[in-house]
Chain A
């Protein structure tokens, strides 16, 4: 089987799948020289390490979910609020 040179290899980016066969890709068809820079600008942020604030926030989602789901259980875990018998 011959590989077809006319078929450009699409990047793994799923968003390219809608690219038309006109030879132009939506992002960088008739790219001027700065177009790559636009991508770099974006990618430079994508590649930044994620600040802890985001990790913390995502962690909280789980916690808040747990709380919502098991609220009733937790209420029972809290013993007598009106004991009042301790000396």
Chain B
């Protein structure tokens, strides 16, 4: 967002258009937020915060560009801030627990949506985020890199690692139960978040 210049006050028509696009993107914001922080109520709080910030910052939105990408950046930043304030603990939504996801061919045990969600929430935040953007949100690597403010290669590497981790967790049915509530794990996540927020992902990926 650094290279977006503030624009003069929008016309009523532009504002109406902005609001229409913002309205359309709300379900996607909810899905992204739910994937990031797990709990639906907290996710929705995050989306509300995002909408308020987006509305206040609408002069910085370039008409014709992706509203979804633009608002995801805002949501992501709000999430990182809240995470560092310890509001979210990556809690897992019990409501999805019984929903059967898919029964892959040749596999006796179906993968449950809950397994998927829990496995997702055990990933380090920057990998979870990358996988959500690319694997669930359908963003290209390039778009995801723009949203996260990091290099394309970094996103690819994060998605690759996230996939590998989910593969082994879901294939073996070996999903850590409450890893996220473990104090040590939580601290590690927060430390990584600081790295992510500081934009150190690019440097880290050079190794």
A, B co-complexed = yes
Q: Which residues of A contact B135 (CB under 8 A)?
A: 27-28, 35, 38-39
Measured between beta carbons, the chain A residues less than 8 angstroms from B137 are: 15, 42
Please give 14 more A-B residue pairs, beta carbons under 8 A apart, in addition to A27-B134, A28-B135. A26-B138, A26-B140, A26-B141, A32-B167, A35-B135, A37-B111, A39-B135, A40-B113, A45-B35, A47-B27, A48-B27, A54-B26, A54-B51, A58-B19
CA distance A44 to B44 in the complex (A): 15
Interface positions, chain A 54-80, Cβ under 8 Å from B, are 54, 57-58, 61-62, 65
B26-60 vs A, Cβ < 8 Å mask (1 yes, 0 no):
11101110110000000010011001100100000
Chain B residues bordering chain A, tally (CB within 8 A): 46
Chain B contact residues, CB within 8 Å of chain A: 15, 19, 22-23, 26-28, 30-32, 34-35, 44, 47-48, 51-52, 55, 66, 101-102, 104-105, 107, 111, 113, 116-117, 120, 131-132, 134-144, 163, 166-167, 170
Chain A, interface residues (CB within 8 Å), range: 35 or more
Whole-angstrom distance from the CB of B37 to the nearest CB of chain A? 12
- In the complex with contacts A15-B140, A26-B140, A43-B55 CB distance below 8 A: no
Interface presence of A14 (CB below 8 A)? yes
Closest CB of chain B to A46's CB: distance in Å? 4
Of the candidates A41, A48, A58, the one having the most CB atoms from chain B within 10 angstroms of its own CB is A41
Q: Chain B residue with minimal CB distance to A13? A: B138
A34–B116 touching, CB < 8 Å: yes
Main secondary structure of the interface of A (DSSP, over half): helix
Q: How far is the CA of A62 from the CA of B137 in the complex (A)?
A: 29
**A19 near B140 (CB under 8 angstroms)?**
yes
A43 touching B31, Cβ below 8 Å: yes
A interface list, Cβ under 8 A from B? 11, 13-19, 26-28, 32-48, 50-51, 53-54, 57-58, 61-62, 65
A21 to chain B, nearest CB (A): 13
Q: Which A residues touch B23, using CB under 8 A?
A: 58
The residue among A11, A13, A32, A39 with the most chain B CB atoms within 10 A of its own CB is A32
On whether the beta carbons of A50 and B35 are closer than 8 Å, the reply is no
12 contacts between A and B (CB under 8 A): A16-B138, A19-B140, A32-B167, A33-B105, A34-B166, A34-B167, A38-B120, A38-B132, A38-B136, A41-B101, A42-B32, A50-B27
